[in-house]
Amino acid sequence: MFHSLRSALCAAAAALLLPLAGAHTAHAATTPAAAAAPGAGYWHTSGRQILDAAGQPVRIAGVNWFGFETSNQVVHGLWSRDYRSMIDQMRSLGYNTIRLPYSDDILKPGAVPNSIDFSGGKNADLQGLTSLQVLDKIVAYAGQDGLKVILDRHRPDAGGQSALWYTSSVPESTWMADLKTLATRYLGQDTVIGIDLHNEPHDPACWGCGDTSVDWRLAAERAGNAVLSVNPNLLIFVEGVQSYNGVSGWWGGNLMGVAQYPVRLNVANRLVYSAHDYATSVAQQSWFSDPSFPANMPGIWDTYWGYIFKQNIAPVWLGEFGTTLQPTVDQKWLSALVSYLRPTSTYGADSFQWTFWSWNPDSGDTGGILKDDWVTVDTVKDGYLTSIKAPLFPGSGGGGSGGGGGGGTAASCSASYAVSSDWGSGFNADVTVTNTGSTALTSWKVTWTWSGAQKVTNMWNASYTQSGATVTAVNAAQNGTVPAGSSVSFGFGGAPGGGGVPSVSCTAR
């Protein structure tokens, strides 16, 4: 996205480009009951849907966590928190996928991250690692937590965005070699479900013009087939361009050319088209001032990219969308967009895929799900995304469980407690509340007592009180209602670590 970070790096250029640029720079965790949790194995497409290895439809509902594409050469925020704490919090909020932007700089020999805080045991297992090795750690932990990862070739280098997939210093050959390197690196690790080939192609990039130096559709075919030649299991995510047949829009957001010039890959059922869409906090567009706004927006989205989904051509992933949510027009835009993306409770996985921009608060154009302290959740912004969140996927993590509230004929619940990370001086844990009765819960309370001196330091998706070693957590406003057989989650940080897993009880209220 065309976010604040890029703006800070090249403010003058951004000021000139912003009117046409794309941006760079959700609440309760929902887990519908199912015979088997969707998402296992590698994924493939069928018409407009994405299916897991067992043929079950899945929905990408996630966030962008940027930083590997910047001079830090690592995701941002590790100067404040442990990386596992971040991923645990994403999971507890109900996000199931992380889009990780990167630049080709991280594949250069000796590329190492900077601005990571190792004090107090934070990020201890990242010390001395290269940027790629840190990426390995993030992928592995995300998979353990039940999240999927999409790698996003965001920039040729840390200096800034590029209109085309190559520059004078990073030729197409390097781009394709690096894509193949990453595809090979994660061969057999189905946490990485695919690669977004290049972020936000824009003018002079064209779609279907036939000039191989600027035709993004042809370049995407070359690169997609190169990736599939070494890892045929991956999904290939192809963004749009800026302009097609004289119609201009967001960078990467114009997929009008797909109707006449579809992307052709050598492996069937691997293609997902991707669009970006933003609000006025990023740039003005003509449709925002239309007298019919926001009723005009579904038609705009249909024209640029929605028709691909609606005509069952291929899945469509809104890889970036975001806003500061400050102007009223932006609030109306996000409300309309969430409705257009199809609420999960109504459409399930027969929906648009999405990853919100961004998890990071340091995107100047949009802000993030986290506030500036890198801990507190912007519950208003996150709350807009509640209806389009989707189930988490099977992970490799585990945890203890405790029961409460019995059984099956009235309002009742059980709770499970899992320590997701422990670095000695602190830890993170997730608690999952499951409705074990036959009627919907309207609210719930979870209680546990530690055997040691542990204290809750922060909690998300629930409120709490602590008296001595006993903690009582009560649902937040947005996740108190739990249908029979379904679950919601909340998470928290605590200190010190090493406390083990206490028994937990759940009371329906």
Tokens 């030649």 sit on residue: 229
Q: Which of the following is catalytic: 69, 221, 239, 320?
A: 320
The C-alpha atoms of residue 432 and residue 488 are separated, in whole angstroms, by 6
CB atoms near residue 302 (< 10 Å): 15
Q: Can you give the length of the chain in residues?
A: 509
Query: Residue 410 — φ and ψ, nearest 5°?
Result: -140, -170
Residues whose CB falls within 8 Å of the CB of residue 278, separated by 6 or more in sequence, listed in order? 1, 22, 23, 250, 320, 321, 322, 323, 365, 366
320 is a catalytic site residue:
yes
Beta bridge partners of 29: none
The DSSP annotation for 120-184 comes to GGTTGGGTT--HHHHHHHHHHHHHHTT-EEEEEEEESBTTB--SSS--SSS-HHHHHHHHHHHHH
172 catalytic? Reply is: no
What residues contact residue 177 under an 8 Å CB cut-off, 6+ apart? none
CA–CA distance, 506 with 474 (Å, rounded to integer): 10
Could you tell me which of 498, 496, 500 has the C-alpha nearest to residue 120?
A: 496
Q: Do 70 and 76 contact (CB within 8 A), yes or no?
A: yes
Q: Which two tokens stand for residue 193?
A: 């479900």
Q: Show the 3-state SS of 298-339.
A: HHHHHHHHHHHHHCCCCCEEEEEEECCCCCHHHHHHHHHHHH
Q: 31-45: b or e for each residue (b if 16 or more CB lie within 10 Å)?
A: beeeeebbbeebbbb
CB contact set of 38 (below 8 Å; sequence gap of 6+): 52, 54, 56, 57, 58, 349, 391, 393
Long-range contacts, stretch 452-456, CB < 8 angstroms, 24+ apart: 452/496, 452/498, 452/499, 452/500, 453/496, 454/494, 454/495, 454/496, 454/499, 455/494, 455/495, 456/492, 456/493, 456/494
Round to whole Å and give the CA distance between 201 and 239. Answer: 7
**CA 102 to CA 151: how far, in whole Å?**
7
The secondary structure element, H or E, covering residue 506 is strand 504-508
- Tell me 354's DSSP state: E
Residue of 69, 200, 221, 239 with catalytic role: 200
Q: Is 252 exposed, middle or buried (0-12, 13-18, 19+ CB in 10 A)?
A: buried
Is the distance from CB of 43 to CB of 51 less than 8 angstroms? yes
Give the position of tokens 């997939």.
165
Residues known to be catalytic: 200, 320
